[in-house]
Amino acid sequence: MKNKLIFKTITNVRILWAMTALALLTSISCDNSTAQQENKKKGKIESTKPKKDDDVIAPDFSLADLEGNTITLEQMKGKVVLLNFWGTWCGPCRKEIPDFINLMKKHNQDGLEIVGITLTSGPPENIKAFSDKWGINYKLLTDIKGNETQTVTALYGQATGKRITGIPTTFIIDREGVIRKRYVGPRSESIFYNDLKEYL
């Protein structure tokens, strides 16, 4: 009789623990769902694409924009970044500029950020004059003091295991900072958009 009573008490305690755990799990998942709905209202979209072991995180960098402000990749976290290594003197790079301008006009409000890392193209004033002439509507970055753009170029080569030996070379970086695509050579607006759209 005493053993039955002890067994019944233990069973009741286990049921109580199980019910408490279930209630706790339910409240946590409801809170998570509410948080996701709040994020959607605020325009923050959580990525549904799972990270894989072989995902390459885009290296952060500090470069100067054409006004001399320091810009980092970290500042663009939460946006889809089309990172383009290019030069004003490069014919194939120039070919892409109208496509980038169109992509920026159409998809900037969806979270697209286009960033041109400008290689060996002279001082910021020269790059600015070029940018104004072409009507470039996206961020152009250059060296802060000396040759930081070359350092960033080497960094992206190391991160992806493929040196950047020619330009234009362009990367799609998703909202969580994962490199999703690499292009060597110029591409059209439609090709870029086809690969970008799942991340926007």
What are the two backbone dihedrals, phi and then psi, of residue 40, each rounded to the nearest 5 degrees? -65, -40
Residue 182 CA to residue 94 CA, distance in Å, equals: 18
Q: What is the pLDDT of residues 132-162, one digit of tens each?
A: 999 999 999 999 998 999 999 999 999 999 9
Q: What is the band of 16 on the pLDDT scale with cuts at 50, 70, 90? A: very low
Residue 138 CA to residue 157 CA, distance in Å, equals: 23
- Classify 56-196 by CATH class: alpha beta
pTM here is: 0.74
Q: What is the band of 166 on the pLDDT scale with cuts at 50, 70, 90? A: very high
Residue 54 has a pLDDT of: 81
* Arithmetic mean of pLDDT, 102-112: 97
Residue 172 has pLDDT above 50, yes or no: yes
Domain boundaries, the chain: 1-40, 56-196
Q: What is the band of 53 on the pLDDT scale with cuts at 50, 70, 90? A: low
